[in-house]
């Protein structure tokens, strides 16, 4: 059998598509023939390059890079903090007016106070739970 025949089987050998007998004959030829060996090495290098290519969608990578920018993380956190602060200020403002209004009923004020305190307790518990879970989360360093 001549080199041309083996050359056709080289990509099959690299992709593990040959049966053991065929693979054996090609390998034996490769150990003797430097020209086919060079061809084989070139093919392996080429297929390595193909395999190392990422198949992720380009827009996924763009989004990841965008969120990885220090500014993006800062803007996201700042936006979140602004929303929370604004919400809390608005709630506090409304509640203060309600409590300071002498025309409102005492029962209503007590009920609202109970709601606020209960809400704060639930929120605080959830926050503590979140923080504890975050501290012990073994995957927090891994980029998901
Ligand atoms: Zn050869």
Query: Could you read off the pLDDT tens digit of each residue along the chain, which spans 144 residues?
Result: 589 999 999 989 988 899 999 999 999 999 999 999 999 999 988 887 777 665 566 667 777 777 777 777 778 788 889 998 998 898 888 888 887 888 878 888 888 889 888 988 998 988 888 888 777 666 655 555
**Cα of 34 to ligand 1 centre, how many Å?**
7
- Rounded CA-CA distance 10/113 in Å is 80
Q: Report the separation in Å between the CA atom of 64 and the middle of ligand 1, taken as the mean of its atom positions.
A: 47
Neighbours of 27 (CB within 10 A): 13
Distance from the CA of 20 to the center of ligand 1, in angstroms? 19
Q: What pTM was computed for the model?
A: 0.37
Output the CA 22–ligand 1 centroid distance in Å. 15
Residue with tokens 């005492």: 106
Domain ranges of the chain: 3-51, 105-144
CA dihedral 20, 21, 27, 28 (to 10 degrees): 150
């Amino acid at each position: 059998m001549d080199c041309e025949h083996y050359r056709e089987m080289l990509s099959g050998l690299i992709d593990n598509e040959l049966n053991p007998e065929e693979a054996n004959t090609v390998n034996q030829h490769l150990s003797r023939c430097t020209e086919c060996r060079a061809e084989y090495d070139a093919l392996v290098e080429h297929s390595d390059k193909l395999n190392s290519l990422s198949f992720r969608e380009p827009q996924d990578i763009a989004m990841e890079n965008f969120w990885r920018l220090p500014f993006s993380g800062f803007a996201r956190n700042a936006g979140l903090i602004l929303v929370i602060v604004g919400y809390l200020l608005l709630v506090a403002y409304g509640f203060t007016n309600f409590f300071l209004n002498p025309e409102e009923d005492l029962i209503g004020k007590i009920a609202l106070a109970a709601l606020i305190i209960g809400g704060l307790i639930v929120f605080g518990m959830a926050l503590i739970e979140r923080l504890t879970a975050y501290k012990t989360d073994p995957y927090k360093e891994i980029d998901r």
